[in-house]
A and B are shown apart, each in its own frame.
Chain A
Amino acid sequence: GAGVSQSPSNKVTEKGKDVELRCDPISGHTALYWYRQSLGQGLEFLIYFQGNSAPDKSGLPSDRFSAERTGGSVSTLTIQRTQQEDSAVYLCASRPTGQGYNSPLHFGNGTRLTVT
């Protein structure tokens, strides 16, 4: 079946603009995760959704970052007033939660964000 889909695959924006990144998880996967992968850095956890709920937003780097998920499916990550340090690959992953916490995450291809 279809995997996790992210759009756009690449986004170039000017500093100060807002951007919206989209993630379509695998159908039926209730858990959804956002990560940021910066050049030379590992994967930084941003936020987790169980259904539409994100109980812990403390991983978001600043209040310019927000995320939502509607209908238990599509999620959007919004970055307001982008800064150059926001340039990174933003990865989305999903997994089914009925199989225990050892079920693996399925990742999308990511959105490469470049802030000029």
Chain B
Amino acid sequence: AQRVTQPEKLLSVFKGAPVELKCNYSYSGSPELFWYVQYSRQRLQLLLRHISRESIKGFTADLNKGETSFHLKKPFAQEEDSAMYYCALMNNAGNMLTFGGGTRLMVKP
């Protein structure tokens, strides 16, 4: 079975502060991990995926297989980063993307 855990339901920071949204996973295979974001009144969309090793909107995420984590980080939060963030794991068969419970990020001015 595959499982994704996001321990924080709400994370509130001030503009300019560093942000780290935690994600831990459980999966017996080789994980494919993603971060999705949902801004207010918008559809759920891909933010970044581990295989691309990219930085999107200043966010990065590193897969740590030893700690089974895929935390999302940004050094300086912006107000427009306020949104709901979901960590997700795709199984090797490609037939199930499992989401964590989500973390609401609020960036205060």
Q: Which residues of A contact B (CB under 8 A)?
A: 3, 31, 33, 35, 41-43, 45, 48, 50, 55-56, 91, 93, 97, 100-102, 104-105, 107-110
B11 within 8 A of A: no
Q: Is the CB of B43 within 8 A of A104?
A: no
Q: Is the CB of B43 within 8 A of A108?
A: yes
Q: Is the CB of A109 within 8 A of B32?
A: no
Distance in Å: Cβ of B3 to nearest Cβ of chain A: 11
- The CB with the most chain B CB atoms within 10 A, among A31, A42, A93, A102, is that of A42
* Count of residues in B whose CB is under 8 Å from the partner chain: 22
CB within 8 A of A109: which of B43, B49, B96? B43
- The CB with the most chain B CB atoms within 10 A, among A93, A107, A110, is that of A107
The secondary-structure label for the interface of chain A is loop
For this complex, 16 residue pairs linking A to B, each with C-beta atoms less than 8 Å apart, are A41-B101, A42-B100, A42-B102, A43-B44, A43-B86, A45-B96, A45-B97, A55-B95, A91-B44, A93-B97, A100-B94, A101-B90, A101-B91, A101-B93, A101-B94, A110-B43
Q: Which residues of B contact A (CB under 8 A)?
A: 32, 34, 43-46, 49, 51, 86, 90-102
Q: Is the CB of B49 within 8 A of A107?
A: no
Distance in Å: Cβ of A32 to nearest Cβ of chain B: 11
- Give complex CA distance A34, B45 in Å: 15
Given contacts A93-B97, A105-B97, 4 further A-B contacts (CB under 8 A): A31-B94, A43-B86, A102-B32, A105-B46
- Residues of B near A108 (CB, < 8 A) are 43
- The CB with the most chain A CB atoms within 10 A, among B34, B43, B45, is that of B43
- Residues of B near A91 (CB, < 8 A) are 44
Distance in Å: Cβ of A65 to nearest Cβ of chain B: 17
Residue of A nearest to B51 (CB): A102
- Give complex CA distance A35, B57 in Å: 27
- Residues of B near A107 (CB, < 8 A) are 43-45
- Residues of A near B100 (CB, < 8 A) are 42
